[in-house]
Amino acid sequence: VNYLLFEDPDIKKILEHYRIIWALGHAGSLMSWDMETYMPEEGVQERALASREISLLSQKLLLDEKFVELVEKASVKENLNEYERGVVRVLERRIRIYKKLPPELVGELAKTRVEAQNVWKNARAKNDFSMFKPYLEKAFELARKVAEYLEYDDEPYDALIDLYEEDMRTKMVVQMFDSIIPELKKALDKVLNEENSLYPRTHPLEERKYVREEIEKLNRRILDTLGFPWSRGRLDVSPHPFTDDLGIKDVRITTRYEGFDFKRTVYATIHEFGHALYELQVDERFMATPLAGGVSLGIHESQSRFWENIIGRTMAFVKILSKLIEEASPSLGKIGIEELYSYVNTVKPSLIRVEADELTYNFHILLRFNLERMLLNKEINVDELPEYWNNMMDEYLGIKPKTFSEGVLQDIHWSGIMIGYFPTYSLGNVIAAQIRHYLQKDLGELSEVIMEEKLKLIKEWLKEKIHKYGSLYKPQELLEKSFGEPMNPEYFKEYINEKFVAKKIV
């Protein structure tokens, strides 16, 4: 590797040592991608063990005395360039975190993740909460320990959310929800009470079965159109769609096929494309350094939601989609543009987060955010969780799950001990709308820009404003640098009102 951007001799030494840590991360990424896609079921025991050892080795290398000294020495140097300072910032943060966590806990987390995910998968399939319960208890117990070791400002949640979104605090998330939820409620009530809504509750296409090979082809054609570089990425199948970045030139995405309601797999694919594009457009000179990779989950989710909703659910994109469906799926055939627009924009309270529409989605996050805090603060225990989940669902969206699988067991996060992660989805929604505002300011009305031949302008713009920086700046700093302001929920409210209240076809 030629570290072209890095001249300081200490930084060069730091990067050389870091490359080993990076390589372990690379291997770990491949292992977790494999676990979700091709690993045979009984591989789980050895995978858990290997995963534990790799995490421990990685922590050990990060806390290596000479390495830590080098980073400390570099941190007080005054003549570092911007990139060198970025390297120091990212590493100081990681060292600070890993110094506080005892190796036994780090190993236990890695091992439990693999085991709990495996149990969760089966528990969800069997609708058996009692099977998963002990692991869920352990997950929250471990998360609580992590928070205690890391220390926090007001409540344990502060320490956990900071792991996914640097400098984010619980009260800032509360403020964000306080700002958007009443507006969403108003818009939702309005849409649900309208007759002949542009955004109907249900659509006949939701029942429609599809030929899997045709929709696989459709997803590939969509990715072709969006410009997914197949020489640097793959599309596979997994129970929960995800993106795994092995590096700037190797990004894997997955989708899933349920056999009916094709918008689910199509929009999951577009969502993951958004994540992938972020990683693929990071400055290549950051390769194998701490600056490679998206800076936070909130920024990451802003990219996926941007492509899924802000681009993907517009009339302009629907026109492109309609053409691709006609080409790829003879059995679905020609679907009228207006019909397709309504189909991909149905609005109704539903139980499954990943399938929720733009108006109800954030209620699912608010629910998880509240329950996670209550569990961490020991206001409720895991036994009571399903009951609280169901009642809160009823309070927010007026519906109650009938099974555990469509309630508490639906998401992968708790089995992965990713507690504090959920709010980043709502941050992503809010930031995506902010990006839309600034993109339109620079490139003009989206409806004029979303055309096959112009999509590259959008990608280029995103690269310049967000992607190329990788982890160079903290999330809020990045927004300030690119847009002159930190996260601002006003644009999301504006977007919601424009699309769903004023019913302007966007």
Enumerate residues 35-74 that contact Mg ion by CB under 5 A: none
Q: Which range touches Mg ion (CB under 5 A), out of 166-174, 301-309, 386-394, 490-498?
A: 301-309
Residue number closest to Mg ion, CB atom: 304
Print burial letters for 264-273: b (CB count within 10 Å at least 16), e (below 16): bbbbbbbbbb
Nearer to Mg ion, 289 or 304 (CB): 304
What's the rounded Cα separation, in Å, for the pair 15 and 7? Answer: 11
Taking the complex as a whole, the smallest distance from the CB of residue 303 to Mg ion amounts, in Å, to 9
Nearer to Mg ion, 11 or 270 (CB): 270
What's the rounded Cα separation, in Å, for the pair 274 and 301? Answer: 8
Enumerate residues 334-393 that contact Mg ion by CB under 5 A: none
What's the rounded Cα separation, in Å, for the pair 400 and 406? Answer: 9
What's the rounded Cα separation, in Å, for the pair 273 and 294? Answer: 14
Two tokens, residue 244: 């795994």
Active site residue 272: yes
Q: Which range touches Mg ion (CB under 5 A), out of 15-23, 102-110, 137-145, 299-307?
A: 299-307
Nearer to Mg ion, 8 or 301 (CB): 301
Q: H helices within 227-314, ranges in order?
A: 263-280, 297-305
Q: Which range touches Mg ion (CB under 5 A), out of 35-43, 280-288, 298-306, 374-382?
A: 298-306
Q: Which range touches Mg ion (CB under 5 A), out of 88-96, 210-218, 297-305, 390-398?
A: 297-305
Helix (H, G, I), strand (E, B) or coil at 264: helix
Taking the complex as a whole, the smallest distance from the CB of residue 426 to Mg ion amounts, in Å, to 12
Window 303-332: contact mask with Mg ion (x via CB under 5 A): -x----------------------------
Taking the complex as a whole, the smallest distance from the CB of residue 419 to Mg ion amounts, in Å, to 17
Nearer to Mg ion, 255 or 304 (CB): 304
Size of the site for Mg ion (CB under 5 A): 1
How would DSSP label each residue in 99-166?
A: HHS-HHHHHHHHHHHHHHHHHHHHHHHHT-HHHHHHHHHHHHHHHHHHHHHH--SSSHHHHHHHHHST
What's the rounded Cα separation, in Å, for the pair 244 and 272? Answer: 9
Taking the complex as a whole, the smallest distance from the CB of residue 272 to Mg ion amounts, in Å, to 7
What's the rounded Cα separation, in Å, for the pair 250 and 339? Answer: 37
Q: How many residues does the chain have?
A: 506
Per the listing, tokens 């600034």 go with 438
Taking the complex as a whole, the smallest distance from the CB of residue 448 to Mg ion amounts, in Å, to 28
Nearer to Mg ion, 304 or 360 (CB): 304
Per the listing, tokens 């409806």 go with 447
Sign of the torsion angle spanned by Cα atoms 109, 115, 116, 118? positive
Taking the complex as a whole, the smallest distance from the CB of residue 304 to Mg ion amounts, in Å, to 4
Q: Which range touches Mg ion (CB under 5 A), out of 76-84, 206-214, 302-310, 483-491?
A: 302-310
- 307 close to 267: Cβ distance less than 8 angstroms: no
Nearer to Mg ion, 27 or 354 (CB): 354
Enumerate residues 148-177 that contact Mg ion by CB under 5 A: none
Nearer to Mg ion, 304 or 309 (CB): 304
Choose the catalytic residue: 36, 166, 183, 272: 272
Taking the complex as a whole, the smallest distance from the CB of residue 275 to Mg ion amounts, in Å, to 6
Which residues form the catalytic set?
Answer: 272
Task: Return residues touching Mg ion (CB under 5 A).
Answer: 304
